[in-house]
Amino acid sequence: MELLANLGIGFSAALDPTNLLYCFVGVLLGTLVGVLPGIGPTATIAMLLPITFSFEPVTALIMLAGIYYGAQYGGSTTAILINLPGESSSAVTAIDGYEMAKQGRAGPALATAALGSFFAGTVATLILAVAAPPLARAALNFGAPEYFSLIVLGLLASIALAHGSVLKALAMIVLGLLLGMVGQDIYTGTPRFTFGFFELYSGINFVSVAVGVFGVAEILRNLEHETTRDVLVKKVENLWLTKDDFKRIIAPVLRGTALGSVLGILPGGGHVLSSFASYSLEKRVSKHPETFGKGAIEGVAGPESANNAGAQTSFIPMLTLGIPAHPVMALMIGAFIIQGITPGPNVINDEPILFWGIIVSMWVGNLMLVLLNLPLIGLWVKLLTIPYKVLFPAIIAFACIGCYSINLNVFDVYAIVVFGFIGYLLVKLGCEPAPLLLGFVLGPLLEEHLRRAMIISRGDPMIFVERPISAVLLACAVAAVIVAVLPSVRKKREEVFVEDD
């Protein structure tokens, strides 16, 4: 009964005309950035954060969430039509989806992606609604040592799912933690690492870092590798499935949904991992594995369901613990902070309309996406022909204006330029910027809980291992690092993410 009452609160918020409108705007923008390769939800949300500053908190977060899971839908369109994933988690969809398109079955492939994603999103949203309250209640019993250990676990576990070198991922986390320390000391107010710039006394602007490292750096990288995009299918027909197709996709959709719901909670990129894991699973259990890579509809149904389920369940640690599972969730935490809300287990009690409104809006948004995507396929096909050199100046100008509007400070715009080049340099050096953003967001929380725990224990670091929950979390963190550096695991990570580069 309590769940039904909470969902009633959520529906009243999600179906508010204003929130409904911005949910629609969010999923439409998300589909758009998913369709246009090279932009992505991370950069888009980073650039739209300044605009949401003037919105009501629930409206802002509903729109930003819509952009994220909308991009999961849109990414499959380019993966199927032109063999170019618009979103990293859609990379595996291109393997069989593009082959289906070449065989004249682009319509069924797109319909499979849309229906599988809707089912998975619905189930994952229900899991989120059921699992979030007890997890938030359990988190209320956490003290400073437990939170410190939880953040350490989140940061180190993200290494196992990062691209490339474990050492480079760890270095990015450390760099993010150092950037998060810029500003005044949280207890004494003493300036740290400000280099005489008064603008840095309140810390580095989160939006500047996010827009620079993800938005500008991604644009520079795409300009370097821009190619002419040839759309395979000018007109998509038969946007529905045959009876045989329905039979073939039921089991993969169910398995993909279950797999994605579990793996999506993992820090670092569980939604990406889940799509690759689903494809491997479907190929292994199939009676005809030789058809995979040649247009098997199961190779579209399973991964698309898995990545969308993973996208939804990745909200669980963010909403209940205040711990981001990946960069997009870090941006969502930034949106919470911009709105003056402290992310964590208290949100469910302090802001029930916001909490349940976001959850219910996910189901509403998924329904909108099914109704939007298939009828608008023709529009998305036309958008794929827009040259990237036409898009990027408008994107950068929009991002700079938005960032300036938050504090009316030109220093923040200069910071975008600096972090844009830093982000581009990191990419060229083979360093993934995602752990940097996680470290930057979680750094101040890590420091605060560390110092609070040390005050409680009067300087005795044994408090972190004497408290059972804290000790278990630290043990898991150590295990995550050990597992990440094992040769067999390292080889598997390279195989999983090679399609994504």
Give CA angle at 264 (433, 124), nearest 5°: 140
- Give the Cβ contact number of residue 410 at 10 Å: 12
- Give the Cβ contact number of residue 306 at 10 Å: 39
Give CA angle at 252 (251, 255), nearest 5°: 85
- Answer for the pair 84, 306: CB distance below 8 angstroms, yes or no: no
In whole angstroms, what is the distance from residue 217 CA to residue 38 CA? 11
3-state secondary structure string, 202-262?
A: CCCCHHHHHHHHHHHHHHHHHHHCCCCCCCCCCCCCCCCCCHHHHHHHHHHHHHHHHHHHH
- The one-character DSSP state at 460 is -
**Two tokens, residue 54:** 């003037």
pLDDT per residue of the chain (501 residues) written in tens, 0 to 9: 678 888 888 899 999 999 999 999 998 888 887 776 556 677 778 777 777 778 888 998 899 888 888 877 777 877 787 766 656 667 778 888 888 888 888 888 888 888 888 898 889 888 888 888 888 887 777 888 888 888 888 788 777 656 667 788 888 889 989 998 888 887 788 888 888 888 888 888 877 887 788 778 877 777 776 554 555 555 566 667 788 888 888 999 999 999 888 888 776 556 667 887 888 888 888 888 888 888 888 888 888 888 888 888 888 888 887 777 777 888 888 888 888 887 778 888 888 898 899 989 988 988 888 887 777 777 777 776 677 677 778 777 777 776 776 677 888 888 888 998 998 898 888 887 778 877 888 888 888 889 999 998 888 889 998 888 889 989 988 887 787 676 655 555 555 444 444
DSSP calls for 332-399? HHHHHHHTT---STTHHHH-HHHHHHHHHHHHHHHHHHHHHHTTTHHHHHHHTTS-HHHHHHHHHHHH
